A and B are shown apart, each in its own frame.
Chain A
């Protein structure tokens, strides 16, 4: 079974990193889905070659289900970092901003450098 190959697996793994595995969840499926779609747009901006096969079909997801994530396996961990980082920086609780920003930096770093650091 492949890792991070569906929307559901992305959300499940994000909840592990967010420590949000108990119902009722702190973060809704809709907000996590929104973060996935924003992450995809960021990847399109920074690394257009990732969508070289078809620039007119940038993926966007509408449900947390078994829909396949149309992203090369090399960049799925980066998208996961964006998903968690973005979700944390949108949380108003103090202390999560730093971790969220670090994950966003890691996301960007993985898109543009071997070491995974953006700056």
Chain B
């Protein structure tokens, strides 16, 4: 993650939260990011894995950022981009509907969120473009969550509600961005769709 972007985020939080400690801000950044990623699903990862003719369950872990966590499975496709039915009752254990009859490489797409351990900056690792695009949203989440805390110098219920509403809106916008693949005015559906 770019240090300049992160420094800007931390500095803005410090300015808006008099009396807040950096350690507390970093904890809240983690919480805001986690909620943002789980709800908006903007962070996705395609993970390839090879099937065998004996296994039904495959252990999958994020590869782009090893400390990140899988939230949910979106889909599994084969090399012809045809959907393969699969579930994930236990996070990280992908279960196919039936044992494959051939050895092939499948691609599973997951929703990803931040996880421990965090980086040396005290902030979890996540793709740089997300902070560049959603910095205001993440900041609103941090400010809202911090200001909602009771009996702190920076407690402010009115502003907390304001920032948390902005955060909610940003999560929804993020979800739409994903559905439309960041194309302005694009339709959320495409042909052929899932019937």
Task: List chain A positions with a Cβ less than 8 A from chain B.
Answer: 46-47, 49-50, 52-53, 72, 74, 110-114
Contact = CB atoms under 8 A, between A and B. Distances in A.
A52 B21 contact: yes
Contacts of B153: 110-114
Contact of B18 (A46, A49, A72, A114): A114
B27 interface: yes
A114 B15 CA distance: 13
B19 interface: yes
A112 B24 contact: no
B103 interface: no
Contact of B19 (A46, A52, A53, A74): A74
B102 interface: no
Nearest to A54: B23
Contact of A112 (B21, B23, B27, B152): B152
A10 B154 CA distance: 26
A52 B24 CA distance: 7
Contacts, number: 28
A49 B149 CA distance: 11
Nearest to B23: A52
Nearest to B24: A49
Interface string B128-164: 0000000000000000000001011111000000000
B151 to A, nearest CB: 5
Contacts of B27: 52
B86 to A, nearest CB: 40
A112 B18 contact: no
Contacts of B21: 49-50, 52, 72, 74
B17 to A, nearest CB: 10
A52 B152 CA distance: 14
15 contacts: A46-B151, A47-B151, A49-B21, A49-B149, A49-B152, A52-B27, A74-B21, A110-B153, A111-B153, A112-B153, A112-B155, A113-B153, A114-B18, A114-B19, A114-B154
Contacts of B18: 114
A49 B155 CA distance: 13
B125 to A, nearest CB: 20
Contacts of B149: 49
